[in-house]
């Protein structure tokens, strides 16, 4: 019986070591984008490709409206490195090969064609009666900050959230504003309220739901009485997209700097 057990135990033992998994290496002197990956393991080459993706991947850019002219700016496709497919090419490449990375093209969500098929739901234009350099700079800068804003159905828009705090570091300049006491003063960002007031009237024209709006301490000369909307740190202009479609804003000043236009367009679903 003891002999049988010894025989069985001997039969279960490994006479030779278990074979190790084969490590696939990139062939010698293989390069990609000018970088040598020859004799690298798949894991090492994957790290190189991950860094290449960080440097070369480009997001798709939606079509939009030019803030200086209001004209449509075409979309730009993006690219994303296909790491898995490119790694397979590296491992299969012959020694001395120069492998080209494989990219997948990404398509923008909003195209120029989609913009041209959009419906203008509400628009308003105000005259820029005070086009002093500081005020005009602030108006144009603010217009760019809210231009091409996309608002989903049911989403709330916040003027302050989009424009942020006006500071000199961000390019805003001193210009005339109305203080809480109704007196005029020079403050960084004067003129922003003309943009919010023009937007407010476009929102009214589009029959959207306004959730927050504040009047100036004194009447302003660029909109009818009761149709203004001042904004400040503690005063916002907010509204909800109550349509069934996404909205996109078109906000621009004319070349002469004498008019500001805000339009709200309903984007088609496809």
Measured distance CA(59)–CA(210) in Å, rounded: 33
Query: pLDDT value at position 76?
Result: 95
Name the pTM for this structure: 0.81
Using alpha carbons, select from 219, 171, 214, 222 the residue that is nearest to residue 195.
222
The number of folded domains in the chain is: 2
DSSP per-residue codes, 115-153: HHT-EEEEEEEEE-S---HHHHHHHHHHHHHHTT-EE-T
pLDDT(179) > 90: no
Q: Model confidence over 1-11: pLDDT tens digits? A: 555 444 445 55
pLDDT(156) > 60: yes
Same domain? For 75 and 196 the reply is no
What value does the CA radius of gyration of the chain take, rounded to a whole number of Å? 31
Query: pLDDT value at position 15?
Result: 60
Query: Does residue 217 form part of some domain?
Result: yes
Query: Does residue 50 form part of some domain?
Result: yes
Query: pLDDT value at position 6?
Result: 47
Same domain? For 213 and 258 the reply is yes
Same domain? For 249 and 126 the reply is yes
For residue 65, give its domain range. Answer: 23-109
Alpha carbons within 13 angstroms on the beta-carbon side of residue 104 total: 8
Q: How many CB atoms lie within 10 A of CB 134?
A: 18
Alpha carbons within 13 angstroms on the beta-carbon side of residue 264 total: 25
Same domain? For 222 and 257 the reply is yes
Same domain? For 40 and 127 the reply is no
Query: pLDDT value at position 270?
Result: 84
């Amino acid at each position: 019986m003891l002999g049988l057990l010894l025989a069985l135990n001997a039969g279960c033992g490994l006479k030779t070591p278990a074979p190790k998994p084969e490590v696939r290496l990139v062939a010698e002197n293989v390069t990609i984008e000018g970088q040598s990956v020859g004799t690298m393991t798949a894991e090492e080459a994957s790290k190189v490709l991950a860094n290449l993706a960080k440097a070369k991947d480009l997001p798709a850019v939606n079509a939009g409206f030019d803030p200086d002219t209001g004209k449509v700016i075409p979309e730009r496709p993006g690219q994303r490195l296909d790491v898995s497919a490119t790694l397979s090419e590296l491992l299969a490449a012959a020694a001395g090969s120069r492998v080209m990375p494989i990219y997948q093209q990404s398509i923008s969500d909003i195209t120029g064609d989609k913009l041209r098929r959009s419906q203008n739901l509400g628009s308003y234009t105000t005259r820029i009666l005070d086009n002093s350099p500081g005020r005009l700079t602030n108006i144009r800068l603010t217009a760019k900050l809210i231009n091409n804003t996309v608002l989903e159905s049911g989403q709330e828009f916040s003027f302050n959230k989009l424009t942020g705090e006006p500071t000199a570091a961000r390019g805003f300049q001193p210009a005339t504003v109305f203080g809480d006491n109704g007196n005029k003063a020079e403050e960084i960002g004067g003129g922003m309220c003309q943009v919010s007031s023009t937007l407010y009237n476009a929102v009214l024209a589009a029959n959207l739901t306004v959730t927050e709006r504040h009047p100036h301490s004194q009447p302003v000369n660029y909109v009818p009485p009761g149709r203004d909307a001042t904004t400040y740190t503690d005063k916002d202009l907010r509204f909800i997209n109550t349509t069934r479609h996404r909205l996109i804003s078109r906000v621009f000043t004319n070349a002469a700097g004498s008019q500001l236009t805000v339009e709200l367009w309903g984007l088609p679903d496809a």
